[in-house]
Chain A
């Protein structure tokens, strides 16, 4: 395998890791506040559709992005209503959101565009274009660092840079701000937050809405940056892989970055069987690589690689005791 192939592989890793990373951080906010969210998938899908559809209709990808975020946050609100206000089962609410999104997106797409449940292909200003970072060409000729900068670091859409910037930002919010302290506390022991005179409901809604925001960006990335338009079920289980990454990352922002990059690499290898054959000398089925994130998560959950302790109040509606 030559250097350029490696760069290409890593470049595609970054592209594939981006939606996982955004969704993983989205789940991190929600679950750190004690609200399990298996509806990441559905929210991403809804956002993917609405951002592509609105971008196609208005010709502006930014308006599309806003629409995607709004759709995702609307689902978050639904999840919040079900699991925070009405103290319903968080898993069931998440499952419902996944089904709702899978059905609604295709239904509305067919109604609006009559193209078999897809949106028209996005072009020009209706898509996020790659950004060439300053001096990419000038540095390009510097050995080693040059190609890394030009091919790997430069040339992604703005959403990729946002996703990676979210990692330190999330860490900072969680561990350096008052909001973060309270958010983590409400996921561990809501009664402590409540008796301290802080609203459990308010905090949990805030977390769930941040989750919606990030899922919205992840979905928009799928249909307006990674691809040029929406197709049926285009989230393709990424929401679940993001959840797996979240467990793998033990609910920590930096680990989330590493986990999603690893899972992104698996995704990149899936499309390049030739690379695996070149390295290991054997043919590996792409589907096998696709299953790896889940296999690794099971290994993690079984406790082979340290212990993954979820937030203690996770999944439980808060009921004030007498």
Chain B
């Protein structure tokens, strides 16, 4: 095979946080000039492994070899010196600095800035020619789009002469078109001899972009295979440890009466910026309408108004009756009384109180339920029993109502919220990012529950930034961009490319 020394070789890396074994005896070889994917569910240990490689953590056991040489990486400085560059999921940029200032930060040439800035400007031009990574060096970061900001992160690594680039979930914030652009850049970098490690939980990206892929599960490296020799189904099985249905299994929808009827809805946020700019949308009984779009294009505000915790103007009717969009009768309690249930986008901030137990969280919003009362007090025993039953039906693990919400995994937290809302049998269910940070196994279950509610003849409004999820789950797709609905499509008659253009604000 290859005679070259691997760009990175890890031997027997182990790392524990208290009783949790985040990495167990991990060995991996990444050959130079390749794109190596690392795939695994949340909590599988991918990020821990990369943090060890970037000097954030010290491994309990194991050795790191860079280009065949044993290397100690006690801190980020050492990682940078070893030629490792990292592009984090959440960018590490100073928002009100210019591109140039961000690039030299920590890699200045001397005590004074002027010569460093001049040199960086020259180097940036060279990098631009070499890799086609153009960006305005004097632009301020906060004025740039996420795709550009990510490019600055890559340039930062290249400026530090990184030969090995680690990208952690790089496409999470990108539109499909931006993601494609990123992959073209990565191809170019590979051609120039750079080694790239791509961490993701998206099977499609692994199949498209990588040469080799390693699969992690529960802190262990379960397999390393050539991408061309494997398939998404096989990878999913390796990740989860059992066969997984990647497609949502559902029958065609049978839409009935209009349940949700939005006309000319406008929402202005607390900064006075109009986030929803007059949208019309209908959701019928027995159908799932998916709202696609890059985060921050008004979907959150739409959900907030419907859920009753932001004010809007325009008209919304639910089952033929108008809904108050501001004032005392526009709160969540009134909404719930009208048969609207809401699974918020950010379950840890809006859906749960992390330090409270599962049963307390289950009572929230429904704490006036007669069956929960015992005279003037809450009937805790009844709430606990009810929670336990719900946890059973939604396969929450562990099924312990007394456990604090923060002690459940992301998927199980989401199931607690879903159980609370779906079990109330609402006429209209609002769901935001139902599977964000949720394992593949749990995703399958959550999708099934949403489809089951639809099949009971309920209306569902789904907001997700995951196009795959929207296409798989929704019966009708509306794309939001800059507060407008750019268009509606049927999943069977569209594809990611067309939706991606709409998401970027282009008419198709």
Contacts and interface: CB of A to CB of B under 8 A. Distances in A.
A195 B96 contact: no
Contact of A189 (B76, B77, B92, B112): B92
Interface stretch (A47-55, A176-184, A211-219, A260-268): A176-184
Contacts of B96: 188, 312
B198 interface: no
Interface in B226-270: none
B54 to A, nearest CB: 8
A185 B56 contact: no
A1 B243 CA distance: 92
21 contacts: A175-B113, A177-B111, A178-B110, A182-B106, A185-B105, A188-B95, A188-B96, A189-B94, A193-B105, A193-B106, A194-B76, A196-B80, A196-B105, A196-B106, A196-B107, A197-B77, A198-B105, A198-B106, A320-B56, A322-B47, A322-B51
A250 to B, nearest CB: 12
Interface in B80-119: 80, 86, 88, 90, 92-97, 101-102, 104-108, 110-114, 116
Nearest to A196: B106
A185 B141 CA distance: 13
B75 interface: yes
B142 to A, nearest CB: 10
Contacts of B77: 197-198
- Most chain B CB neighbours (cut-off 10 Å) among A175, A189, A197: A197
Which of B56, B86, B94, B96 counts the most chain A CB atoms within 10 A?
B94
B106 A197 contact: yes
Contacts of A312: 95-96
B317 interface: no
A302 interface: no
A191 B111 contact: no
Contacts of B86: 195
Interface in B126-160: 156
A185 B101 CA distance: 9
A192 B94 contact: yes
B112 A176 contact: yes
Given A188-B97, A196-B105, A198-B106, A181 B92 contact: no
Given A177-B111, A178-B108, A322-B48, A192 B92 contact: yes
Complex A-B, nearest 3 residue pairs according to Cβ-Cβ distance, in ascending order: A196-B106, A197-B77, A192-B92
Contacts of B112: 176-178
B180 to A, nearest CB: 27
Nearest to A189: B94
Interface in B49-93: 51, 54, 56, 75-77, 79-80, 86, 88, 90, 92-93
Contacts of A194: 76, 92
Nearest to A320: B56
Interface string B28-56: 00000000000000000001100100101
Given A181-B104, A182-B106, A196-B80, 6 more contacts: A178-B116, A188-B96, A189-B94, A192-B102, A194-B92, A195-B86
Nearest to A309: B96
Contacts of A180: 113
Interface residues of B, number: 33
Interface of B: 47-48, 51, 54, 56, 75-77, 79-80, 86, 88, 90, 92-97, 101-102, 104-108, 110-114, 116, 156
B153 to A, nearest CB: 10
Contacts of B108: 178, 181
A322 B88 CA distance: 11
Contacts of B80: 196-197
Contacts of A182: 105-106
A179 B111 contact: yes
A320 B92 CA distance: 12
Given A196-B106, A196-B107, A178 B113 contact: yes
A174 to B, nearest CB: 10
Of the listed residues B54, B106, B114, B116, the one surrounded by the most CB atoms of chain A closer than 10 A to its CB is B106
Contacts of B95: 188-189, 312
Contacts of B48: 322
Nearest to B91: A192
B97 A176 contact: no
Contacts of A177: 111-113
Contacts of B92: 189, 191-192, 194-196
Given A182-B105, A322-B48, A196 B76 contact: yes
B377 to A, nearest CB: 36
A290 B396 CA distance: 63
A176 B105 contact: no
A18 B90 CA distance: 43
Contacts of A191: 90, 92
A187 B244 CA distance: 46
Given A192-B102, A193-B106, A322-B48, A185 B94 contact: yes
Interface string A146-186: 00000000000000000000000000000111111110110
B111 A192 contact: no
Contact of B93 (A176, A181, A189): A189
B165 to A, nearest CB: 14
B102 A197 contact: no
Contacts of B106: 182, 193, 196-198
A15 to B, nearest CB: 35
A196 B90 CA distance: 14
A188 B94 contact: yes
Contact of A197 (B75, B93, B101): B75
Contacts of B97: 184-185, 188
Contacts of B111: 177-179
A195 B88 contact: yes
A310 to B, nearest CB: 12
A189 B106 CA distance: 13
Contacts of B79: 197
Interface string A303-322: 00000000010000000101
B156 to A, nearest CB: 8
Given A178-B113, A322-B48, A197 B94 contact: no
A176 B114 CA distance: 7
Given A312-B95, A322-B51, A192 B105 contact: yes
Nearest to B106: A196
A178 B90 CA distance: 25
Interface string A127-160: 0000000000000000000000000000000000
B116 to A, nearest CB: 7
Contacts of B75: 197
A146 to B, nearest CB: 40
A234 to B, nearest CB: 38
A60 B72 CA distance: 53
Contacts of A184: 94, 97
A65 B54 CA distance: 46
A173 to B, nearest CB: 10
A320 B114 CA distance: 31
Contacts of B88: 195
A189 B76 CA distance: 16
Given A177-B112, A178-B111, A195 B94 contact: no
A4 to B, nearest CB: 45
B56 A197 contact: no
